[in-house]
Structure 1
Amino acid sequence: MYIIQGKQGEIGMWKYLPIPILFFGLMGFNYLMTIVMNLDVAEFMEQQISQKGKTRFFAENMAFFVLLLAGLFFWVRFIHKQSLRSLTTSRPKIDWGRVFFTFFMLSTFIIVSTLISFYSSPEDYIFNFQPIPFLILAGIAILLVPIQTSFEEYFFRGYLMQGLGLACKNRWVPLFTTSILFGVMHIANPEVEKIGMILLLYYIGTGLFLGIITLMDEGLELALGFHAANNLITVLLVTADWTALQTDSIFIDTSEPSAGFEILLPLLIIFPVFLLILSKKYKWTNWSKKLFGKL
């Protein structure tokens, strides 16, 4: 079972505290400063982008996750003395086929749905493709975005999932706790400021979906591929001036965002369909035990 893979290292529950305290402390401090300083996040990003350009600003933000992932791996490997393989999967070795399956599954969905939206409502998009800026963006994004998404998966669905599971001796507490924390982590994003706190439901729902596929599949591979595709294809294909990820993408979405069906569609339809596809492909069984059972 994936969660008890954490027992392969030197557990010591105190060892699970410094990394989450440091990370959430940093996130909390960042959010507090925006409130204390009455900072308009979208306006601040606009100023930074005008000074540095979209690609440099994007690269600087992504580079921070290189340090975070390296720090997490160092802590797991040398403080917990746990192998990175056991943090990734319960299988004898990492199944890269699973990573690439969800990557290409979601990539196909994003590309097709974006093209449908573009051709049905072309007035909502600007065709922004510029070969040189795009190629520079692609090189940086392909290198750094998977590192960013991998950190979030290893931290939430890996490190915290295993630590909370071992502490609580069940699966439902880490599943829901990591999903909520994953959603709250996005609270300072400019799209939350633009649309409203209701958008956190989407992020929490996304975290829940990623947590479910991690527990049902007994490993992080599916979540790693899914998350990487979501962020990488988005920054290359279509961005908007009110989101956290603003790049020299192929399309710029100029439509006015709303807190309506766009938020509910993934939670009520898209994610359940993906769960059905994955459950059939990987023959998942014992859902209640794997999601809510005791360890």
Structure 2
Amino acid sequence: MTTVQQALFAAVAQLRAAGIDTAPKDARRLLASALGIAPDRISLHMHDPLDDFDAFAQIAFDGLLTKRAARVPVSHLLGGREFYGRWFTVTPDVLDPRPETECLIAAALAAPFATFLDLGTGSGAIAVTLAAERPATTGIATDISVQALDVAGRNAESLAVADRIGFVQSRWFQAIDGTFDLIVSNPPYIALDEMDGLQPEVQLHEPRLALTDEADGLSAYRTICAQAPAYLTWQGRLMVEIGPTQAAAVSQMMQDAGLVQVQVLQDLDGRDRIVAAHMPQ
């Protein structure tokens, strides 16, 4: 009879053979899902037979492993992922929220704001987190994709902030009126010539529209930086996530738009990740 430990060891080997660098972590998360327990409780059950949990646990686990070995993202297999301490539904219609984007949240929360605008919201991870962390705020979240807005709306509902976020189908500022204390965005920043180098999980399973501008990776920033001043309150802030080689170009765009106090912030790996600026006083 197969134990939890035996199943886990075999799963790690299978995923490593498929070229997955995160095999131990992924195997643990998928096994926990198949067993119906939290990943951090796997260690308590290492010597228990799989059949003690569910007669079909091994079948369910095998199915998840087969799909993961085919490079389906773990978030798609589990139906979501944790971001900034909260669970977000994730589907193939939206980008999988990355830990690096939590740096944008931390930077945004470092100063007060009453209103915010999230451009290209995708899963709603940024907008929903900002609203959840600052209960007195209201915001608007946009996306060109109706399917993405549906996912974001569901996340807002499940995390009890839907009454404070308006979801608008818009290409950047196209359908937006008014001004905001904070404008944030994690736009498509991968250049066309970089797409072939992406991991299969990203290249095959995430929406291309949210990954690349089909050009040099800077198109969205040109629009956002040029138009943002018209939508910012006095001393309002603009913050965008960037690719690690784009800081100089995006910083210059913000300066050219008349924004001041331009800053480049790094992620936990020390890579340039956020460019931020203020409206002048």
Please report the TM-score for the alignment, with normalisation by the length of structure 1.
0.25
From the two aligned structures, give the one with the greater helix fraction. Answer: 1
Compute the TM-score of the two structures, normalised by the length of structure 2: 0.26
